[in-house]
Amino acid sequence: MLDLIIKNGQCYINGNLEGKDIAVKDGKIFKIGEILEEAKEVYDAKKQIVLPGCIDTQTHFREPGSTDTEDLHSGSRAAVAGGITAVFEMPNTNPPTSNIKEFQKKLDLAKNRMYCNYAFYFGATADNVNQLAELKDLEGCCGIKLFAGSSTGNLLVADEKDIDKVFQNSSKVVAVHSEDEEILNKNKKLIKNGDVHSHPIWRSEECAISSTRRIVRIAERYNKKAHVLHITTKQEIDFLSQHKGNITFEITPQHLTIYAPDCYEKLGTYAQMNPPLRDKSHYDRLWYAVRNNLNDTIGSDHAPHLKANKEKEYPNSPSGMPGVQTLLPVMLNHVNDGKLSLTQLINLVCENPVKIFGIENKGFIKEGYDADFTIVDMEKKILIKNENIESKCGWSPFNEVEFKGTPMATIISGKIKMREGKILGDPEGTPLKFS
């Protein structure tokens, strides 16, 4: 007997929507097409679209350390509530995930506590570069995270000689927070106390493009893969479009949805993040990149903070906002608005993460692949409300905003983990495997 049949849906297969049924057995896609066997469970996907399981390649779940703000359990609930089947989680925890011992601790913390599948970044430091060559086969490791500017503890790697050593020794994709620490320090004098509008002035365009040029130069020197996170400037779009191949980059949903100065006037410090939300000229260039398939991924940069901390006077307010639960509604709405196609979105959150990072058996609806699916209703509207946010922080920058396009079910290894907004079953997520 089959474990699950998904019937009557439009399935995204080989770049097309096809009216086919899907049979699942032992956590794998058993058959696509006419299903004659019986199953323990049937999901009727009538008027819905069955996508490969969507992957969020940038999240911060704050564990260990700030578990009052978020933890692996609550963050994974937010993920599956938003149709996300797998996440990459960041190493800027307390202590940081920057050695094998701490990495294993995080794997242990995740076991039987995370609803979605997961992988963790190994944090680069100026002192652990000799370990980076040994990470190729480390279980559950998606890549190396490099903070070239703006980080905590020992994770800041700002000196060019140290950045050079990270790439020289890297055995996996190096994902980079690209801001120039020297320029950040020089620009501190531009910060206006109590005025969050000064945030993108302090963290200037020059700060971003200077760092990104340096990262690309070093990565190309060693023929290593660099994935530049949360690109925010038109200068970076124009530069990176000329340096494809081993260089890939991400844009966040929030940078494609809100912009300055409106976001700061409406949201205040709740709109504060690093790199910052900038003016419409940058927003427009980011959309140019998306329309023309220049960027490679969409990642939420889910970085929650408690309301009490976000409401502190700028610049004492922390940077970051939640986003793993809203990534898909926001982007599906953009699909409905004609800003990108569904195929483009699937490339960004399913297929490209698999290709860039070498994830095994994910990203496509194929027989023999893992039975991970995100099922969406493109016509159904969803009203984002703070009280429905699964993250411990309990807020969203999109509170009281309605989006057209709603994740209806999150299926992981053939088990329905979210249905119509309700989280089901036990947390059974497992580490992603990489080739």
Between CA 311 and CA 317, with CA 314 as vertex, the angle to 5 degrees is 50
DSSP labels for 93-155? SSS-S-SHHHHHHHHHHHTTT-SSEEEEEEEP-SS-GGGGGG-TT-TTEEEEEEESSS-STT-
Q: Is residue 85 within 8 Å of residue 350, measured between CB atoms?
A: no
The Cβ of residue 34 has, within 10 Å, a number of other Cβ atoms equal to 8
The question of whether 301 is a catalytic residue gets the answer yes
- C-alpha 138/C-alpha 434 separation (Å) is 9
Q: Is residue 114 within 8 Å of residue 56, measured between CB atoms?
A: no
Q: Is residue 364 within 8 Å of residue 351, measured between CB atoms?
A: yes
Q: Is residue 147 within 8 Å of residue 92, measured between CB atoms?
A: yes
- Containing H/E element for 207? helix 205-221
Q: Is residue 306 within 8 Å of residue 68, measured between CB atoms?
A: yes
Q: What is the DSSP letter of 174?
A: E
- C-alpha 23/C-alpha 38 separation (Å) is 9
- C-alpha 22/C-alpha 365 separation (Å) is 9
Helices 160-169, 205-221: crossing angle, 10 deg rounding: 40
Q: How far is CA 295 from CA 248, 253, 353, in A?
A: 7, 13, 12
How, if at all, do strands 16-19 and 297-298 pair? unpaired
Catalytic residue among 180, 301, 370, 372: 301
| Structure token digits, residue 75 | 């963050």
- What residues act catalytically? 301
